[in-house]
């Protein structure tokens, strides 16, 4: 299993058909690769989160598109062999250290692999990073 820290950005968008596709099309045109992208309803609209592979390239594309992004924040990305209890070590280590998860999403990636992204409170990022040996 490998765990690393990454930067992510969020923004509010309208919750209308095609809003996400429009965002992703702008990034594709700018040749920006995303490690992850999420979206969910929030306050009458939607919130989208971007985890770019290249922060500078993403920031340039966002400026060009005139997006109002949040400040950069930290997310943890985990990848490993998909097996029963694949996330128990991570979650158990955080719980033992009294670090609460803000959010977690995980998915199998085929070929017996999984990926997960999870967030902790800003005050706990450094502690969680050391504990999990996230690079």
Domain shared by 66 and 90, yes or no? no
Domain-embedded: residue 83: yes
Domain shared by 47 and 17, yes or no? yes
Domain-embedded: residue 39: yes
Residue 1's pLDDT band, with cuts at 50, 70 and 90, is confident
Q: Give the separation between CA 135 and CA 85, rounded to whole angstroms.
A: 23
Q: Give the separation between CA 130 and CA 100, rounded to whole angstroms.
A: 15
Domain shared by 86 and 55, yes or no? no
Which residue, 52, 71, 90, sits at the end of a domain?
Answer: 71
Number of continuous H segments (helices) and E segments (strands) in the chain: 4, 6
What's the chain's length in residues?
A: 135
Domain-embedded: residue 125: yes
Taking only the tens place, the pLDDT of each residue in 62-80 is 999 999 999 999 999 999 9
Domain shared by 55 and 79, yes or no? no
User: Can you give the CATH number for the domain in which 117 is found?
Assistant: 3.30.70.260
Query: Model pTM greater than 0.85?
Result: yes
Q: Domain range holding 18? A: 7-71
* 125-132 vs 88-96: helix crossing angle, rounded to 10: 130
Domain-embedded: residue 123: yes
pLDDT at 54 over 90: yes
Domain shared by 92 and 124, yes or no? yes
Number of domains observed in the structure of the chain = 2
Q: Give the separation between CA 117 and CA 123, rounded to whole angstroms.
A: 18
Domain shared by 51 and 32, yes or no? yes
Taking only the tens place, the pLDDT of each residue in 100-132 is 999 999 999 889 999 999 999 999 999 999 999
Which residue, 51, 71, 91, sits at the end of a domain?
Answer: 71
DSSP 60: H
Taking only the tens place, the pLDDT of each residue in 36-47 is 999 999 988 999
Domain-embedded: residue 1: no
């Amino acid at each position: 299993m490998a765990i690393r820290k990454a930067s992510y950005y969020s923004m509010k968008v309208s919750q209308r058909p095609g809003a996400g596709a429009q965002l992703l099309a702008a990034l594709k045109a700018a040749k920006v690769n995303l490690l992850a992208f999420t979206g969910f309803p929030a306050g009458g609209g939607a919130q989208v989160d971007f985890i770019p592979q290249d922060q500078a390239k993403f920031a340039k594309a966002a400026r060009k598109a005139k997006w109002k992004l949040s400040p950069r924040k930290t997310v943890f990305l985990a990848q490993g062999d998909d097996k029963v209890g694949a996330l128990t070590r991570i979650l158990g280590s955080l719980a033992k250290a009294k670090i609460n998860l803000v959010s977690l999403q995980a998915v199998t990636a085929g070929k017996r692999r999984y990926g997960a992204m999870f967030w902790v409170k800003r005050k706990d990022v450094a502690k969680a990073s050391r504990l999990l040996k996230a690079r």
